[in-house]
Structures are given as C-alpha cells and as structure tokens.
Chains A and B, each alone.
Chain A
Amino acid sequence: MNPPERLLDRLPEWTRSIRFRYTLLYSAVLFGLAAVVLAAIYLVLLMSLRATPVSAARGTYCPRFGDCITVITFREAERLINAQILNKLRFYSLGALGVLFVSSLGVGWVIAGRVLAPIGRITSVAREIQATDLSRRIELPGPEDELKQLADTFDAMLARLDAAFAAQRQFVADASHELRNPLAIIRTNVDVALADPDASPDDLRQAIAVVKRAGDRMTLLVDDLLALARRQQPTPEHEPVDLGAAVAEASEDFVVPAEARGIVLDRAIAEGVVVSGDREALKRVVANLLHNAVRLAPPGSRIRLATGSERDRAWIAVADEGPGISPEDQAHVFDRFWRADKARSRADGGTGLGLAIVRQIVESHGGEVRLHSKVGVGSSFVVWLPVARAAAEPAKR
C-alpha cells in the first residue's frame, strides 16, 4: 500500500464525503480569490503611495518655550500617514481573510448539504428497493434540474426492470400452466387405468396412446421454451447465411404436409441474398410461419413463400388464404401462449409459442416482423432482416 492511500484511510469517515470535499473546495476558492483581490489592492496602494515609517523622520524643532517637537516636512507627514493606513489595511485584510475562511467553511458546508440532499434521497430509496419490490420509485420533487433528471432516469430504469420481471413471472406462470395440462392428462389417465382391475388390453393401449400424445405435446412445448430461452441470451454467434438456401431447406419439410391437406405451396426464392445470422434460427422462423399457414389454411388454397431483398434489407414473406386475423387479435398474435382458437390449436399440437419465437429470433437479428391480415381473405407475415451482402441477381419466380 502506498503512503497517500494509508493517509486517506486514516481520515475519519465524514472527510471522505463529497460534502466535505465540496466545502473545502468552496472555501479554498473563496479564500484564494479574496486573498488575491486583497493582495492586489494592497500592492497597488503600496506602489502608488509612498510610505515611510516614522523612524525615517529627521530633525527637531525646539521653541523657546516648551518641549521640542519632531519636525518633518508635509510630504514626510503624508508618507507617514500612508504607512499607517497600509499597516491598518494589512491588519484588517488579514483579519477579514480569517473571518472569511471560517465563514466560507460554514456556508460551504450548508450549501453543499442542500445541493447534495436529493442524492441522499436517491441513495436511500435505491437502497430500500430490493429485487422483490421494484414497484417503488424515487419520485424526486423539485425543478427539472440535473439531479431530477438523474432521479427520473433511475425511475424509468426501475419501471423497465419492473416490467421485465413482471413479464418473466408471467412467462413462468404461463409455462407452468401449459405444462400442467398435459401432466394432468398423463396422471389422470394412468391413475384411472391402474385403478381398473378389469381394464382390457385395448383400454390400456388407448390410455398409453393418450399418454404418448400428452408426452409429445410436452416435448414440443419444452423445445419451444428452450428455443425462447436460448434466444434471450446475449446474441449468439452470427455468420453469413444464404437466406434463399436456408428458406428453401426449411420449406422442404412442409411440401408433403401441405399436399396432404390439398394446399399448394408456391415458392419464389431469390438467390444470393446473404444475411448475417444464425442459420438454424432463421430456418425455424420460416418453419414456424409455414407451420401456422399449413395448419390454418383451408384445403384447396394457396400458400406463397417468397424471399428477396430491397436495398440493404432482405425479406421473407409467407402469405396464406386462411381465416385471417381480426384487427383486435393482431396486437396479440406475437404474445407468448396466445392462441386465436385455443381448442383447435392445442389439438393440432400448437404450443402458442411459434410466433413469439419468430419475433424473438427476428428481433435478435436486428430485423422486424410485420403482419398484414384481413378476416376472410388471409394473412401474410413479412420478416425484414438487415442484409449482409446483396448479390445483383434479380429474384426469380
């Protein structure tokens, strides 16, 4: 440890406060300024007035009657008086400086205290706010000054944290709710099957099939939850991805299911569009969008999947001729566990997380996803991504 640090450590606690340092600084500056001004006045006077001390007087005059008196010239008298005035000036100046020093310390201490009081309030409130109670705010009163801005910034940060924690809690509650239903199915079916001594092999086989279905559903859900959680971490490594190839690859899996439902899957994929990102995640975006489209579009309809780029942005569009989404529902489709039709979506194996995952992946790539939909006409989802390097090749249909 070096000496200055040890010296600082030996000082009492209060000397380390900003208030103390501020007081010292204030006092020193005031004292210094006053000293300079006074010294300047003194020096100017000293130079402009010729002052000679009394001892410099010469000659005496002794009248016939009475005592002798010292005789000086008028000029000498003037100088003598000047010397005394300068003396007094010096004396009072030094006194005034002393008084000023002491009073400046006091005034500085009071002013510093007043200026720093809001900081004390901010500190004490911030200390009281624990992770469990983010609902409190500093709510600093007073004019719109720097400290109020600081306190307001803290409040805004607390509000964001509060909202984030609330969303997290809601997510956990929703996730547990979604997991409880298949768990209840498994448990009840097993309980009922086990409790029946006369259960036929067919009954048992049926119970096992139900349990398998519920298990599959939980697997999907857990996969989706993990996909969401993974994307919540700091951005994973991004690499150049050939968007056209990734989209084509992801869409392959949907050709057969679409055909099985009598749906035509039209693909218009532009080549040479490269974005920077996570290839698997981008494939998942396409898969989730197509999964919804294939599930919801009526037989005999057409789903169009297209990609392309426009200046520095690449896009992926999935348009269906499905039932469409009403304007009030459009605000919710990207929410976790939101379903337009709960019963049907669950039966089809929808977890209610597909579009939430889409949005999260797209946003973590610095892009955005837009929905255009009209009830009875269809929906189209357009994903915009920043492009890494666009080739000159035009989109082919």
Chain B
Amino acid sequence: MRVLVVEDEADLADAVARGLRREGYAVDVAYDGDEALDKAAVNTYDLVCLDLNLPGIDGIEVVRRIRADGERQPPRVLMLTARDRTVDRVVGLDEGADDYLVKPFDFDELKARVRALLRRDAGRSGALLEVGDIELDTARHEAQRGGRPLALTPKEFSLLHYFMSRAGQVLSQEDLLEHVWDENADPFTNTVRVTVMTLRRKLAEAGEGQPVETVVGRGYRLREGP
C-alpha cells in the first residue's frame, strides 16, 4: 500500500513517514502543496495523509485537485489538522477527505485510521484478511498459512497484503512497484521479482501448493480458492 505524507513541518512529516514505513507501507513525503500535487500526478497512491495548513497551495485545495483527477481511482485522504474548530474539519470532509486527526495525535491512532481507510477499498470491515488458507492481521502485522505463522519481512508483508486486497486480479510488476514500493525504489532493478520469489518460497514452505501464480507476460495473481 502506497502512502503520501504531506506536511510542511519536516520533523513531523519524517517521523510519520518513518513510522508508517515500519508498518510496511511504501511512503513518500511532500513538504508543500505543489510538491504533493506533483507526486500525486506521477504516482498512484492508496492513501494521502494531508496537513490542511500548508504554505503555497493549501490542504483543502490539494484534496480538491486530487479528487478531481477522474482518470484514476482517487486515493483515500486522511486530514491532519492543528485547528480543532469544527468548521475546518467540515470544509475538509466536504471537499472529499475521508477522515481527520487533530494534532497532536497518538501514532497508534494514526496507524489504526490508515488501516481502516485502506480496508474500505478492500470492502472489509475488520483488520483480518483471509484468502484461501492465508490469513493476514494488518493490526498485529502477523500472517499465517493454514495456521502456521509466516516469518515475513516488512516488504514481503506489504506485498502479501497488496496481493490479498486484490485477490484474483492479475497484478503487473509495475502495479506492484507502484503500490508496494516508494519513489526511492529503482524501477530498473529486479527488486519486485526477487521479493515475489522469496514470498512465494515462504508461502510454499508453510502449506500445500503455491497460491501466487505467474501469469505469463502479464504478472502475478493470488488464487482466491484453495
């Protein structure tokens, strides 16, 4: 899952990015509204954590423009605001933000809200994902197959998470690079292929059969049934 953090306080933006990266998200950071719009135009984000009070183009305008991009599915927007007046939040929510947090916030709450927003796209209501005999707990960061725990690196976990939230769909290497890796990933390396390979190996070791199929010439797919 790919997240864009937009915040003009660099110390805050970097800490949020660091914390979310450790949760396995691919995180990019923008320090003002222009940079945020530039990055949103180039990359496809699943979620944007947005400070409303930005120098230059302000947060509300950023929400408006991100939502106005009709070509792609717009990302979920979580507003961060230091203003606790209702009117500020109402404007943000009316313009298309999905949720808000008032600064200073508890980082666990931020993580929970990010998870909740990303679940909305998968049409689920809980933190637990289940495809076939694979189970993934996004809150506890645990995955298991057939009851046996999987020892995954954060990147593998994110990859599996993305596969499971798009079960049955064919996902190209570009899709995976776009949603699971951040902008610092080099698109010309075989990092996607290598990570998929290790994930498949760990899945195969934990149970019968290989749930992640290769669709020749197009990409990978997580089988929905056993």
Contact = CB atoms under 8 A, between A and B. Distances in A.
A181 B107 contact: no
A191 B11 contact: no
Interface stretch (A58-66, A110-118, A230-238, A340-348): A340-348
A177 B15 contact: no
B55 A181 contact: no
Contacts of B12: 181, 184-185, 188-189
Given A214-B11, A342-B55, A343-B55, A177 B104 contact: no
A176 B83 CA distance: 8
A196 interface: yes
Contacts of B32: 343
Nearest to A176: B84
A187 B104 contact: yes
B78 to A, nearest CB: 14
Interface in A205-248: 207, 210, 213-214
B82 A192 contact: no
Given A180-B82, A188-B12, A343 B107 contact: no
Interface string B72-105: 0000000010111100000000000000001111
Contact of B18 (A176, A178, A192): A192
Q: Which of B12, B53, B110 has the most CB of A within 10 A?
A: B12
Given A196-B22, A210-B11, A343-B32, A187 B106 contact: yes
A184 B105 contact: yes
Contacts of B105: 184, 187-188
A186 interface: yes
B19 A188 contact: yes
A183 interface: yes
Contacts of B85: 173
Nearest to B17: A192
B83 A188 contact: no
Contact of A188 (B22, B31, B82, B104): B104
Contact of A184 (B10, B104, B108): B104
Contact of A185 (B15, B83, B102, B106): B15
B11 A185 contact: yes
Contact of A192 (B19, B53, B83, B84): B19
Contacts of A343: 8, 31-32, 55
Q: Interface residue tally of chain A, by bracket? A: 20 to 34
Given A183-B104, A184-B103, A189 B55 contact: no
Contacts of B9: 181, 184-185, 346
Nearest to A210: B11
A196 B111 CA distance: 14
B82 A177 contact: yes
B15 A210 contact: yes
Interface in B103-119: 103-108, 110
Contacts of B104: 180, 183-184, 186-188
Contact of A183 (B103, B108, B110): B103
Contacts of A185: 9, 11-12, 15
Nearest to B19: A192
Nearest to A192: B19
Given A185-B11, A343-B55, A191 B82 contact: no
A336 to B, nearest CB: 15
Interface string A317-347: 0000000000000000000000001110011
Contacts of A210: 11, 15
B107 A191 contact: yes
A329 to B, nearest CB: 14
Interface string B180-216: 0000000000000000000000000000000000000
A188 B8 contact: no
A129 B31 CA distance: 46
B177 interface: no
A191 B106 contact: yes
Interface in A157-215: 173, 176-178, 180-181, 183-189, 191-192, 195-196, 207, 210, 213-214
Contacts of B19: 188, 191-192, 195
Nearest to B82: A180
Nearest to B102: A180
A192 B8 contact: no
B16 interface: yes
A341 B55 contact: yes
A191 B110 CA distance: 11
Contacts of A347: 10
Nearest to B80: A184
B226 to A, nearest CB: 35
Given A176-B82, A186-B104, A188-B15, 15 more contacts: A173-B85, A177-B53, A181-B103, A184-B9, A184-B80, A187-B106, A188-B16, A191-B107, A192-B19, A192-B107, A195-B22, A210-B15, A343-B31, A343-B55, A346-B8
Interface of B: 8-12, 15-16, 18-19, 22, 31-32, 53, 55, 80, 82-85, 102-108, 110
Interface of A: 173, 176-178, 180-181, 183-189, 191-192, 195-196, 207, 210, 213-214, 341-343, 346-347
5 smallest CB-CB distances across A and B, nearest first, come from: A191-B107, A184-B103, A184-B104, A192-B19, A180-B82
16 contacts: A180-B102, A181-B12, A181-B82, A184-B105, A185-B9, A187-B107, A188-B105, A191-B107, A191-B108, A192-B15, A192-B18, A192-B22, A192-B107, A341-B55, A343-B55, A346-B9
